[in-house]
Every structure is written in C-alpha cells, then in structure tokens.
Chain A
Amino acid sequence: MKIPIQTKVSKNIVFLGLLAYAVIILYPLFWMFISSFKSYQEIYSNVWALPTDWKFENYSIAWSKGISSYFFNSVHVTALTIILTVLIGSMAAFVLSRYKNRWIDAGLLFTIGGLMMNPQVALIPLFEILTVTNLIDTHWALILTYVAYRLPLTIILIRAFFLSVPKELSESALMDGCSEFGIYWRIYLPISLPIVFTSVILTAFFAWNEFLFATVFINSSELKTIPSGLMVFRDALRTDWGVLLSGMVIATVPMIVLLIFLQKYLVRGLAEGSVKG
C-alpha cells in the first residue's frame, strides 16, 4: 500500500508536535531533577547547565531539615485515609448495589449529592466544626475530611463494579450459611480487587497532594504534610534553592512510582468512571 506524500509530510509535522509537547512536559521536570543537585550560585549563574559538582548532600539536608517529618506525616495521613475510604466506601457500595427499595434510592441520591459539594465551599464551616471538636491542628482533621470528600466517588466506582457480581455466587453462599458480612468480605471484596486498587490510587493521589485543608487545618510545622510543608520549607530556606528542589523531588517520586506500578488499574478505573459520569 502506498502512502501519499502529503500524508507523510503531515504525519511528520504532527509527530514533531507530539514530541514538542512531550519536551514541554518533561523539560521542567528534568530541570527540577538536575538542579536539585546544584548549589544556589550554580542555579543562578547558569540555569541550563548540568551541575559541575553534584551536590548529593542537598537531599540529606532537605531530608533532615523537615522533609522527613512532612514525608512521614503524609504517609500517615494518606495510609489512614486510604484504609478508611476503601473500607467504608466498599461497605456502602455493597449495600447500595445489593438491595433495592426506596431507602436504597435515597441512600444513592445522598451519596451522589455529596459529589456536588467542594472542599473550597466547606472550608469555613469545617474549620468551625473541627475547632469545636478540638480536632483542628491534628492529623484527624485531615484524615476525616479527606475520607468524607473521597467517599462519594469511591462508592460510585465500587458500586458500579459490585453490580456486575453474579447473584448466584451470593445465593449459594447464603445456602451454605454465610452471613451478609461474609458475603461482603469473602465474595464481593476479593472479586472486586481491580476497582479497589483504582480507588486506592485515586485516594492516595488526593491525600498525598491535597493542599487547601492541609494549609488551613494544620498549624504546627511538625504536623504538616508535604504539600503545605513545602511552603514552610520554602519560606525557611529563602535562597537554598538546590535543597528546596531536592525536597520537591522527594515529594514527587512516590506518586510517579505508584503511577508506573499501578497504571493499568488507573486506566481501567478511568474507563469505569467515565461510563458512569
């Protein structure tokens, strides 16, 4: 089959465009990585060059000057958020997919309605509620609110998957004397691991990167998570750009690693999610 010359030219132009866009995305990230090994003077005097002297100590300085504590705070908050969101969300999804009556319809509406609310809008009332309950400036302020704002989407995703679990499985389990909890725990949850993974990734990404609540609800520097901690870090460092950039790289690497390992689940989850809107 012959390809007309015109198509060949336009194909190459499009390909150059794709490459140019890839460079626009990658170059700043590459620059961030390379410059994280530079001294302030070197970043300032030659912004493009590779480091002449690779300052690996930027990473140990960043780590010991605060990033380690932000990092472990983020791990703590993210891990608990994931566990609670997936557990509570899948339990609700189980009920909402397995039964059918007007209470279930109401419950579904209640859940979907939660999607309409946004963290920005709830900021001030949540600040009041957390102050009154003495949760402000604790990790629970973040964990509880993160769980609440991740639940609607998680429930909708998992429910869509649960709906496809064959009824015969749970019926025969009931015959064998399995409890409702057993059906959830031994049948629905194990079958639905792919969508559970998707929920884990989406929740992890949200909790690891959330900025607004992390800034407003946590005051103590030693309790801050990475996104808000980086701001404290920047203000404390002033001109130590190499160290700041090392901190930024440390904040980024876990998510990139997670993306690479779990990307097939992410794509599948996006497919599920885009069907149901």
Chain B
Amino acid sequence: MKIKKAYITPILFMVPTILFLGLFIYIPLIQNFYNSFFEFSVFSQSKEFVGFSKIKELLVDEVVMIALNNNVKYAIISVLLQVFFALVLAAVLEDKFFRRFAPALRVIYFMPVMISISVIALLFGFVYNPQIGLLNSFLELIGLEELAKPWLGNSTTAIYSVIAMSQWQSVGLITMLFIVAIQKVPKELYEAAEIDGAGKIRKFFKITVPQVKEATFVNLLVTVTGSILVFNEPYILTNGGPGNSSMTLAVHMYQTGFFKDDMGYASTLASLIFLLSAMFALIQIKVSKTGKED
C-alpha cells in the first residue's frame, strides 16, 4: 500500500509530458506514414486508399530532384560557414589579442539569431530588391554595377541569395556554441604549447580542433539536419521560385499539400524528409551517448 502511494506523484508528473509528446509528436509521425498511402484533400475527411502509387510518384517527380539538389547546396554551404568559419571565428574571439573586443563582437554576431525569420526575410527583400536594394546600390557605389542583378528573380542566383541570408542569421549561434566549447579546453594545454614555442595557427590545429571535436561533430549534424528541413527562408523570400529554382523539400511538401491540395503526396514527401533527418538525428544521439561514457 505504501509503495503504491509513492508511485502516484511520479506517474502524475509524467502524464502531461506523455500526453503532449504522444498526441502531437508520436501520433502525427505514425499518421504521416499512414497518410502516404491515401489520396485526400485539406477539407475532406474521406481518404481513398491508393497503395504505393504516391511513392511511385515520388520517384519520378522532377521537382524532388531539384529540391534535393538545393537542400544539398544548403548543407554544403552551411557546413563551410557554420562549422568551419564559425569555429575559426570562435577561436579568434577567444584569442587573448581580441579579448577586449570579444564581448561586444559576440553580442553583435549573435543578434540575428534572436530576430524572427519573417523580419529577416522581409529585410533581405529590401537588401535584394532590384531597384533600390542595398546590395545593388552598394555594388554601384564601389563601381561594380555590372554585377547588379535581380538576385531573387534570377533562377541561378535565387537559391544562393536565400542561402546567404540563412548564413547571415545562423553563423552567430554556432559561433557561440563553439565559444562555449573552447572555454572548456584546459588552459594548461595552451600554456604548455606556448612554452614549446607553438604559433597561433599551430595551437589552433593541434589543440583547439582536437579538443572541440565532439562539439564540431554535433554542430555538423545539427547543421546538416537543419539543411534538410529548411522551409521558412525559401518560402518567405522566393516561395521556391522563380520556376522551381529555389525549391526545397519542405517548401515542395507545403505547396503540394496546401496549394495543390494533394495531402497524400505531401505526406509522402514529409516521410522522405523525416527519414533523411532522422538518419542524422540517430547518428547524433548515438555519438553524444558514447561521448558521455568516456
């Protein structure tokens, strides 16, 4: 009787979490796979079973290939800037030469992270505006007006313009995570290296990089997963256009479901996105677990 009573509080305490995660995370996940086998629309409750036909559609959909390609571009550029550049930036900010300015610079670099993506996307609408845009008028100012173009209206530059805006927003966050990781590196390692006469670049590669290996790996996976899921930036700036040139998987999924009203196929696309991102999430969970053991 006493034992039972002791279990009441823990069970009561877990109930809300189980309900929230069950109802809004796990059931939707299962339902999404289920939906992939049906033909249905936003406003009707009836679903028609269509077997694997939506999955076959996925395999021949050209837009999926364009979108996948853009997601990969997103991933590559994000890894270069948010992992490599951010690591170098963090190391520089932690260097004692720059200590004095580091707090101010840290806050400045981190600022865009706190700003809503809709504000940033609207702001970059002004930056990329073909007539009055800051980017084009800056190019004019420095005499490079032949480089000026309608950045978002041009099918070769649209996706890169979207990616550039994402980097502008996100580099600060990853830099901050690297700063936190670098601050945990034992000071003695650097002191010993200094006594041995090691230069800054040598210290960076021989001490900083290996010591923050785990943080680098986690950031790498977070960045790649984020690139598979990217929705807001291309949706607000270009809506996947012009043509499908800046389409990503998530924007394609959204348009298929809510504009073309093909919820079954949109669910199939969502399942593809899930499988791709879950793969990286699983690797991450595995890696951070093994990290805890040693």
Contact = CB atoms under 8 A, between A and B. Distances in A.
B270 A111 contact: no
Contacts, number: 237
Give the 10 A-B CB pairs with smallest separation, nearest first: A277-B288, A148-B24, A125-B28, A180-B9, A125-B31, A122-B28, A92-B17, A209-B116, A91-B13, A116-B281
Interface of B: 6, 9-10, 13-14, 16-18, 20-21, 23-29, 31-32, 35, 42, 89, 92-93, 97-98, 101, 105, 107-112, 114-119, 122-124, 126-127, 131-134, 137, 168, 172, 176-177, 180-181, 183-184, 215, 218, 229, 231-232, 236, 250, 253-254, 257-258, 263, 266-267, 270-271, 273-274, 277-278, 281-282, 284-285, 287-288, 291-292
Contacts of A120: 229, 231, 250, 253, 270, 273
A263 B133 CA distance: 33
Q: How large is the interface on A (under 10, 10 to 19, 20 to 34, 35 or more residues)?
A: 35 or more
A99 B137 contact: no
A29 B134 CA distance: 12
B252 to A, nearest CB: 11
Residues of A contacting B: mostly: helix
B176 A270 contact: yes
Nearest to A255: B114
B177 A270 contact: yes
Interface stretch (A10-18, A55-63, A165-173, A189-197): A10-18
A111 B274 contact: no
B263 A124 contact: yes
Q: Which of A15, A115, A117 has the most CB of B within 10 A?
A: A117
Nearest to A201: B114
Contacts of B111: 25-26, 29, 256, 259
Interface of A: 11, 14-15, 18, 21-22, 24-29, 31-32, 35, 43-44, 47-48, 88-89, 91-92, 94-95, 98-99, 107, 110-118, 120-129, 144-145, 147-149, 151-152, 155, 179-181, 184, 205, 208-209, 211-212, 216, 226-228, 230-231, 234, 241, 244, 248, 251-252, 255-256, 258-260, 263, 267, 270-271, 274, 276-277
B119 A248 contact: yes
Contact of B98 (A15, A47, A123, A205): A15
A241 B123 CA distance: 11
